[in-house]
Amino acid sequence: MKMSEEKIFFEVSSKGLTIINDDFLAITLIPENSIDLIVTSPPYNVDIHYNSFKDNISYGKYLGFTREWLTKALKLIKPDGRMCLNIPLDKSKGRTEAGFQSVYVDIVKIAKEVGWKYFSTIIWHEGNISRRTAWGSWLSAKAPYIIAPVEMIVVFYKKRWSKLENGISGITKGEFMEWTNGVWVFSGESRKKVGHPAPFPVELPKRCIKLFSFVGDTVLDPFLGSGTTLVACALLDRRGIGVEIDRKYCDIAKRRIIKEGNIFQSKLL
Ligand SMILES: C[S@@+](CC[C@H](N)C(=O)[O-])C[C@H]1O[C@@H](n2cnc3c(N)ncnc32)[C@H](O)[C@@H]1O
């Protein structure tokens, strides 16, 4: 795939890895029908303090943004391409007259409306979660809070679920048996270690990539953040494109791909 050089922040041609520093909604560098798999976690709209991006727009605007980027992503994916979308179940802050926001339900509905076909949902249980501070009415039925220590990984496809051609997955029997069970238990990533306020662990894109793509396929993360999806691509011999609006995070992603993706010995660097 040939891309114009304009917005390319970092590229390792020998591995087919590219970081684009741009707004995913504005981007024109990625050809339509060229992506095999999208793995991403979009901004959650829960007032996370990103370097430049505002994560506290109104819920209505957030759903409008969701509609726009899901429509664009659908154009870029191949007819037998898939998407693994990591999103929260609920939004527990900011209750409105209509109640709390069921983020998962709303995003799945929009994805289907813009043309994505729903396949399945994997529930990711962060085994080590210990962030709980609010119980509502303690030991009373007056107004207790329910908090599920889980995130969703929703799997969609464009036109057909069965891929048109066969290839090498590189997945082991043990991994296949464990990961096709739709409850995944593994720890989250340390924000401090990575230098980003909302990273997912490499384990998440690793599982999605090995289950849903072949070696040599092209994976896109339209909200690259600290570069986790491209680290997984580097380790699993997939081509990878990451788009990130914030230059500081592009820089973190570049450093992580070189270090954690084991590509520092590449002749082209
Ligand atoms: C939830 S984070 C992704 C974290 C990533 N999965 C990781 O492991 O580091 C969402 C990212 O999307 C970026 N972002 C927000 N709006 C964007 C846009 N329109 N285009 C590209 N990136 C955007 C934010 O700067 C943020 O880094």
Does residue 266 lie in a domain region? no
What does the pLDDT look like over 9-40, one tens digit per residue? Answer: 999 999 999 999 999 999 999 999 999 999 99
Boundaries of domain holding 12: 8-131+145-260
Does residue 268 lie in a domain region? no
- pLDDT of 115 reads 98
| Ligand 1 pocket test target in 27, 229, 244, 256 with most atoms within 8 Å of CB | 244
Structure token digits, residue 192:
């401090």
Distance 121 CA to ligand 1 centre (A): 22
Does residue 231 lie in a domain region? yes
Distance 169 CA to ligand 1 centre (A): 27
Distance 23 CA to ligand 1 centre (A): 10
Does residue 55 lie in a domain region? yes
What does the pLDDT look like over 222-235, one tens digit per residue? Answer: 999 999 999 999 99
**CA-nearest residue, atom 19 of ligand 1:** 23
* Residue 87 pLDDT > 50: yes
* CA distance to 13, 36, 38, 263, per residue, from 269 (Å): 10, 26, 26, 9
Ligand 1: nearest atom to the Cα of 48: 1
Q: Is the distance from the beta carbon of residue 225 to the nearest atom of ligand 1 less than 6 Å?
A: yes
pTM: 0.94
Does residue 247 lie in a domain region? yes
* Residue 4 pLDDT > 80: no
- pLDDT of 268 reads 44
- pLDDT of 240 reads 98
Does residue 137 lie in a domain region? no
Percent of the chain surpassing pLDDT 70: 93
- pLDDT of 264 reads 64
Q: DSSP secondary-structure letter at 31?
A: P
Structural domains in the chain (count): 1
* Residue 76 pLDDT > 60: yes
CATH of residue 120 = 3.40.50.150
- pLDDT of 194 reads 92
Does residue 267 lie in a domain region? no
* CA distance to 71, 80, 126, 241, per residue, from 46 (Å): 22, 33, 18, 26
* Residue 190 pLDDT > 50: yes
134 or 37, higher pLDDT:
37
**CA-nearest residue, atom 26 of ligand 1:** 225
Coil, strand or helix at 188: coil
Q: Confidence band (pLDDT; 50, 70, 90) for 263?
A: confident
- pLDDT of 166 reads 96
How many Å is the maximal CA-CA distance in the chain? Answer: 65
Does residue 75 lie in a domain region? yes
Detail the DSSP E strand segments found in 135-212: 150-157, 183-185
- pLDDT of 217 reads 98
What does the pLDDT look like over 155-167, one tens digit per residue? Answer: 999 999 999 999 9
* Residue 269 pLDDT > 50: no
What does the pLDDT look like over 198-213, one tens digit per residue? Answer: 999 999 999 999 999 9
